[in-house]
Amino acid sequence: MSLFKPVRPGTFDFELGLADRGYEAVAGVDEAGRGPLAGPVVAGAVILPRDCRYEHFKDSKKLSPRTREKLFVVLQEMNIPIGVGRATPAEIDRINILQASLLAMKRAIQALSRPADYLLVDGKFQVPLPLPQQTLVRGEAKSASIAAASIIAKVSRDRLMIQYHKQFPEYHFDRHKGYPTALHRQLVKKLGPCKIHRRTFKGVRELVVKGE
């Protein structure tokens, strides 16, 4: 039996290690909205400072909407480089959801007020940019920068879907944010898809009128 507790990796170890190697602008990158039947996929990119309270930033999916909103405001008030990018439903239908997610990530990185010199990317696929980068499966749990980016992406997308609710109130996008809930599926079957529905997704494509 070991007399010592195992040292658990911290969620800022990747960033600090890269800083020690000379990288000064490490951006965490994540997306929100791969699974919904409607709306864009939205990505966030965040460069956290070395002296930040990184432990506050956790996987957005494990945070309550209220906590996500609070941390979103905290990140904005830190006056750090934050980028948001999106890919539209039409782009998702044209190039598929994976490529659209990577496109949204690319746009988020390009929207940063300070150019990144290294990327920590959630998932298995690199962003199509000529930058050194590391992909991390379940990256939100391993990197505070990716977790912060997930908060930016999730809150930005949720706010956007609430705006779409005002345009299409009959679909109740404010409640399900476009995800394939029972309510959303029922409404799509009843009303047919609107212009922000993803026409190549199962649950929508069967209801698209040919020639539409």
153 falls within a domain: yes
Residue 162, domain member (yes or no): yes
Give per-residue pLDDT as tens, 115-156: 999 999 999 999 999 999 999 999 999 999 999 999 999 999
Q: Is residue 159, in this structure, part of any structural domain at all?
A: yes
For the chain, what is the domain count?
Answer: 1
Q: Which residues pair with 122 in a beta bridge?
A: 136
Q: Are strands 41-47 and 26-32 parallel, antiparallel or unpaired?
A: antiparallel
Joined together, the tokens standing for residue 185 give 């599926």
Domain assignment present for residue 209? The answer is no
Question: What 3-state class would DSSP assign to 133?
Answer: strand
Domain that holds residue 84: 13-167
Please report whether residue 178 resides in a domain: no
- Whole-number pLDDT of residue 210: 52
SS3 content of the chain, % helix, strand, coil (to 5): 45, 15, 40
Mean pLDDT of 159-175: 98
Q: What is the pLDDT of residue 137?
A: 97
75 falls within a domain = yes
Q: What single DSSP character describes residue 83?
A: E
- Distance of alpha carbon 95 from the chain centroid: 18
The tokens describing 53, both together, are 């309270």
State the amino acid at position 145 in one-letter form. Answer: S
Residue 44 lies in a domain: yes
- What pLDDT shows up at residue 2? 42
CATH of the domain at 24: 3.30.420.10
How far is residue 23's CA from residue 31's CA, in Å, rounded to a whole number? 23
Is 192 a domain residue?
no
What is the distance between the alpha carbons of residues 69 and 89, in angstroms, rounded to a whole number? 25
Question: What residues contact 177, with CB distance under 8 A and at least 6 apart?
Answer: 33, 36, 39, 157, 158, 161
